[in-house]
Every structure is written in structure tokens, then in C-alpha cells.
Amino acid sequence: MTAGRRWAALLALALGGFGLGLTEFVAMGLLPDMAHDLLPAEYARSSADAVAKAGWMITGYALGVVAGAPTIAALTARVPRRRLVVGLLGLFVAGTVASAVAPTFGLVLAARFVAALAHGAYFGAAGLLAAAMLGPGSQGRGFSIVLGGLTAANVFGVPLITGLGQAAGWRVAYLAVAGVFALTLLAVLAVVPEVAAAPGGSPRDELAAFRLPQVWLAALVVAIGFGGFFAVNSYIAPVTTHVTGLPASAVPWVLAVMGVGMTVGNAVGGVVADRDLRRSVLLGFVGIIASIALFGLTARHPAGLVAGAFLVGAASLFIGPALQARLISVAPGAQLMGAAINQSASNVANSMGAALGGVVIAAGWGYLSSAWIGVALAVTGLVLALVSFRTDRRSSLESGPEAVTGHLELALAQGDRRVQP
């Protein structure tokens, strides 16, 4: 591939990440509007209760990712990667249009679940495609490029679509998101080359990843630790309007600030993850804990809200490429499944953060109480990450020189630039 063709292909894959950022995060800015439209009786009685119930839109989407990512990864182990990406984009278009036109809360929730089935598999397949085009030793950068689309969505896409939804209705906003997915599908068909599936790959090989204890532990790190971000992000709109006291028109700007933080964190995190995966994970969790605590303490004031939103976004996405690369590294021979499991675990985090945040808000503890749920989840994730890395070290020591040799061979096969033969 020429350099121009390669970057055009990478941008097409990142555009899919942009669409995923829209479909996942626009709901957070439009949650009050969706609650008012779909739950009018509950909203008339208590807006907080209605918004908390509407949070199931976020939770339901997350559960769709959890169900779809490993299932699609197993069933498509032998499908060429571009063909898989195109099929997943088609499902996004259909599911997002259905979300926009469904008439009731239950049907919208079901449509969001169906659309979400392709989410995790897209990030896995597109990330592996990007890494293949960049060359060996580029898993962190490959996934950060696809995630870069998601973070760019949070800088200007989510605020714009949120503003559109507030002005014209949330359904119009989701039709616009469906248009982004359709454009991505055409771009992928035009410029992304075909890349074969992993040689000898099979559903059995992909499913074998679930027999590895470290895969489960690494997934648990993501599922619990990353939930801290979603406990804050899911309720950023009501915090802005009800706690800080800013008008609804300020919500898109706060989301944009968080998106800038996510973009910066993701760009730096992709490079650091390829250089030192362990340090990237541990520093990332420390940053998430500190930034969410700062948000909880200062978000009552506009300056604290803005600074906290930026730092929470930056710290949370800094760790994203490292967590993805970690799950791939502990699932040798099942890269697509490792990538898919990360997306499933991330959306367990999404579901857990949104649900636990909704519980404490509905209990009357205030919108900022969700931030302290976020701190607790991130601290737990840090502890689990330390346990996971310690288990790696113990396994290597117990296995003796053979394990070290195997690690060196795997690192060389993956193009790890830190290891010399």
C-alpha cells in the first residue's frame, strides 16, 4: 500500500469509531430529552427518577455489546477482516435507524440492544486491521487510531449531535448518526484492503481464550476499573444543569471539553502502551482515581466542572489502548476474541457505572454521588490490575526458563521493539 492509501484506510476505520462514539455517548447528553419523550408520566412525577430509568438506554446498549462481541468473534473467526467490518457497519445502520423510529421506550431499548451487538466486534476487527496496516509491534497505536475516531466524536461530534437533538429532537440526532455509519460503510468499501483472518483460526481457537484465567482477570480489571469513567460520564448532563447550575445549552460544551481530554489521553496512551504496557495501566488507574475525586469535589463550580471533565476524559482514554493490548497479549492465538472481550468488559463497565450511578441518584444522594461510585470502581480496578501483573510474574517464575523463552518468542513474533534476540 502507498502511504496515502494506508492513511485513507486508517481514517475510514477511524470514521467507524467516530460513529460508535456518537451512538454510545450522544445518549448521555440527550438522556433528559429521551426521558421526557419516552417516559412522560414518570418525568412529570420526578425528573430525576425518569432520567435514572432512562439510564437503561445506556445500560441496554452496553449489554448488547457484552453479548455480541464474543459471539460474533467466535462465529466469524475465518471471515476476512474487511468483509466482517462491512457486515458490522450494515448492522449499525439498521439498528440505529430502528432506534430513531421506534415509538415506545421498550422498543427503543430493544433497538439499541440490537445495534450494540456489532459494537465490540467492530472495534476488535477494525483495530486488528489498523494494526496489520501499520506493521508489527503496533497494536497499541492501531487500536488508538480506531479509538481516536471515538474521542474525536466526543470533541465535536457528540456536542453537535447533542445540540441537534436538543433543537430538533433526539430521534433526528440518531438518524444523523445512522448517516455517519452509512458513510463509513462506503468509505471502507472504497479504500480499505482485504486482510485475511488469522491462519488456522476457528471458533474453537477463539473460544479457547475463555479457558485462560488471566483472560478473565484482565477482563475483570476492565469491567470494574473502567466503570469509574462511566459513573461520571453517564450523568454529565444533569450534573451540568442541576448541580453546577448552567443552562442546557452548556452541556454540549462540557461534553466537548471531556472529548478533548479523551483525544489527548488516547493519543498519548497508544504510544505509551506500545512502550511499557504495565506502567501505562497502573498510571492510568491512578489518574482516573485522582481526576474523578477532583470532579466530585469541584463540579459544583463551573471551573471545577470543566477542569474535572477534561481530566476524567484524559485519564480514562489514556488507559484504553493499554487495556485492549493487555487482553490481546493474554489470549495468544485468539486475537479477535481478546479484542472482543475487551469491548464486552468495557461495556460491562458502562452498564455497571451507569446503573450504580443511577441507584445512588435515585436514592436521593444527589447527582455528584455517582462520582464517588466511580472512585470506588477505579480503586478496585487498580487493585485487580496489580494482582493480574503479580500473577504474570509468579507464573513466569514457577514455569522456569521455558516460560521466559516462550515470552521472548511471542514478543519477537509480535514485533516488540524492546526485545532483542
pLDDT tens for each residue of 247-258: 888 887 888 888
Name 121's Cβ contacts closer than 8 Å, sequence gap at least 6.
Answer: 68, 69, 72, 73, 76, 84, 88, 336, 340, 343
Residue 137 has what pLDDT?
A: 58
The answer to whether residue 223 sits within a structural domain is: yes
Q: Is 276 left (phi over 0), alpha (psi -120 to 50) or beta?
A: beta
Among 52-66, 134-148, 210-224, the least confident range: 134-148
How much is the average pLDDT of 60-66? 80
Max avg pLDDT among 85-99, 151-165, 228-242: 85-99
Average pLDDT across the chain, whole number? 82
What's the CA gap between 353 and 373, in Å, rounded?
A: 8
Check if the beta carbon of residue 155 is closer than 8 Å to that of residue 263.
yes
pLDDT tier for residue 72 given thresholds of 50, 70 and 90:
confident
Domains of the chain: total: 1
- Please classify residue 364 by burial: count the beta carbons closer than 10 Å to its beta carbon, then call 0-12 exposed, 13-18 middle and 19+ buried: exposed
Q: Does the pLDDT value for residue 396 go beyond 90?
A: no
The answer to whether residue 168 sits within a structural domain is: yes
pLDDT in tens, 98-155: 999 998 998 999 999 988 888 878 887 888 788 778 766 555 677 778 878 877 887 7
Cell numbers 462511566 correspond to: 230
pTM of the entire predicted model = 0.70
Among 169-183, 231-245, 301-315, the least confident range: 231-245
Residue 198 has what pLDDT?
A: 60
Residue 379 has what pLDDT?
A: 95
Among 42-56, 64-78, 90-104, 132-146, the least confident range: 132-146
Q: Does the pLDDT value for residue 47 go beyond 70?
A: yes
Q: What range defines the domain where residue 166 resides? A: 3-413
Check if the beta carbon of residue 382 is closer than 8 Å to that of residue 224.
no
The answer to whether residue 420 sits within a structural domain is: no
Check which CATH number belongs to the domain holding 310 and give it: 1.20.1250.20
Check if the beta carbon of residue 308 is closer than 8 Å to that of residue 240.
no
| Proportion of the chain above pLDDT 90, given as a percent | 25
Number of H helices, E strands in the chain: 22, 0
The answer to whether residue 200 sits within a structural domain is: yes
The answer to whether residue 418 sits within a structural domain is: no
The answer to whether residue 140 sits within a structural domain is: yes
Per DSSP, 104 falls in state S
The answer to whether residue 421 sits within a structural domain is: no
Residue 139 has what pLDDT?
A: 59
Check if the beta carbon of residue 171 is closer than 8 Å to that of residue 101.
yes
Q: Is the dihedral of CA 156, 161, 378, 386 positive or negative?
A: negative
Residue 189 has what pLDDT?
A: 92
Residue 334 has what pLDDT?
A: 67
The answer to whether residue 350 sits within a structural domain is: yes
Check if the beta carbon of residue 174 is closer than 8 Å to that of residue 95.
no
